[in-house]
Amino acid sequence: MPSRSKISLSEENIEKMEESSVQFEVLERKTLEIVREAGEKGVLQKDLWKKLGLDSRKGLKIVRKLEEQGLILREQVVLRGRKTYVIRPATLLQKETTLPDFLDEIPCFFCPNLAKCASGEVDFLECPILRRWLTNG
Ligand code: SF4
């Protein structure tokens, strides 16, 4: 008899996990779209749940993640005597920033291997392109 403490992931379970993570990403994108379209006025949390077709538990999970990433802001308001939340895009409150020109020259920004470097597949410490830029720049 297999031990209860062992977790085995069948292909079916892995598929379900991948499917639910894709669904979560789609819902995140849809949430951002709705919030950005609402603009400065924002969208009431309960209206957001309706538009997404989600219950508050699932909706909150998505909103909290986007809030943690600094993409949206959630502000408590009182509407007809009841507490609720308005959700707005965070970018509206951010000041425009001008980046220094030298950042345009960093080779990584134009490199087809950027994703591989970010994942650790390519070791940036061994990269001749970056080394050349650092020593000549
Ligand atoms: S370190 Fe090199 S390989 Fe990695 S992204 Fe920068 S230029 Fe590309």
**49 C-alpha to center of ligand 1: Å?**
42
Q: What is the pLDDT along the chain (137 residues), one digit of tens a residue?
A: 444 445 566 767 666 666 677 788 889 999 999 999 999 899 999 999 999 998 999 899 999 999 998 899 999 999 889 999 999 999 755 566 677 887 788 899 889 998 888 888 989 999 999 999 889 85
Q: Closest ligand 1 atom to the C-alpha of 127?
A: 2
**50 C-alpha to center of ligand 1: Å?**
44
Confidence (pLDDT) at 23: 83
The angle at the Cα of 64, spanning 63 to 69, to the nearest 5 degrees, equals 100
C-alpha count within 13 angstroms, C-beta hemisphere, residue 61: 10
124 lines ligand 1 (CB under 6 A): yes
Strand partners, 44: 86
Q: What is the dihedral of CA 6, 7, 11, 17, to 10 degrees?
A: 180
Q: Can you give the residue ranges of every domain in the chain?
A: 11-93, 101-136
d(CA 84, CA 47): 11
Confidence (pLDDT) at 19: 61
d(CA 135, CA 137): 6
CB distance 52 to 59 below 8 Å: yes
113 lines ligand 1 (CB under 6 A): yes
Confidence (pLDDT) at 15: 65
Question: DSSP readout, 69-114?
Answer: TTSEEEEEEEETTEEEEEEEEGGGGSPP-PPPGGGGG-GGGG-TTH
- At the topology level, CATH places domain 11-93 in Arc Repressor Mutant, subunit A (1.10.10)
Enter the pTM of the model: 0.53
Q: Closest ligand 1 atom to the C-alpha of 117?
A: 4
